[in-house]
Amino acid sequence: MVMPTTLGGSLGYRDKLKSEREIALGLAVAGGSGGAAGGGLLLLLGERAFEAAIPSLLIGAAVLVLAGPSLVQWVSRTGESIDRPRAAIVVTFFLAIYGGYFGAGVGPLLVSAYVTTLMGGVQRANALKVMVVLSVNLTATMLFVLWGPVDWLAVMALGVASVVGGYLGSRVARRMPDLLLRGAVAASALVAAILQIW
């Protein structure tokens, strides 16, 4: 039950996303397509087939988020553009497959991808991440509503709390300094990795 959370988060970032329409559309399509593919795989295979890789992915995401500024500076010194929307879209599609399939920690993975492929820092990356995770969860959820078992009472109870929490969380994140937000994203990835191992 993460779609209501990302819906609330998207509402919190709606004004920032208005200025990102071109790249946001491409990322949303990639996220929705990958989410549908991942949700389909989950219905066919179950989640255990991918569980073993999750801690490594999350630790890698934490490292990328923390190393983001250094990577950007290094690429800048090479004289190349560091805004690579096509690369971001391709990476989004493959991460969205993971997100639709299992979902744990896909947010930090997306933030780390956008920090290293797009200009604008972690605040821009976080806004785009919230929108992409919404598209991933929307398509994956639609598959489960049509073909999977759903506990509607639990969905309604968690839905209200998740929308409110996602909205308030996005408002807090927007007011955090870039370095603090980067640390929070990395910490959440590491905590999720530890919980998966535990």
pLDDT for the residue 8: 47
Residues 166, 6 contacting (CB under 8 angstroms): yes
Sorted by where each begins, the domain ranges of the chain are 3-197
Could you tell me which residues come within 8 angstroms of residue 173 by beta carbon, excluding any fewer than 6 positions away?
12, 126, 181, 184
> Which tens digits make up the pLDDT trace of 59-94?
877 777 777 666 656 655 554 556 788 999 999 999
Nearest to 96, CA basis, from 63, 130, 61, 133: 133
- Would the pLDDT of 183 be above 50? yes
pLDDT for the residue 21: 78
Distance CA 11, CA 170 (A): 8
Distance CA 132, CA 135 (A): 5
Residues 34, 94 contacting (CB under 8 angstroms): yes
Rounded to an integer, the average pLDDT of 111-132 is 82
The model's pTM is 0.68
Task: Report the Cα–Cα distance between both ends of the chain, in Å, rounded.
Answer: 22
> Which tens digits make up the pLDDT trace of 33-55?
999 999 888 888 876 766 777 78
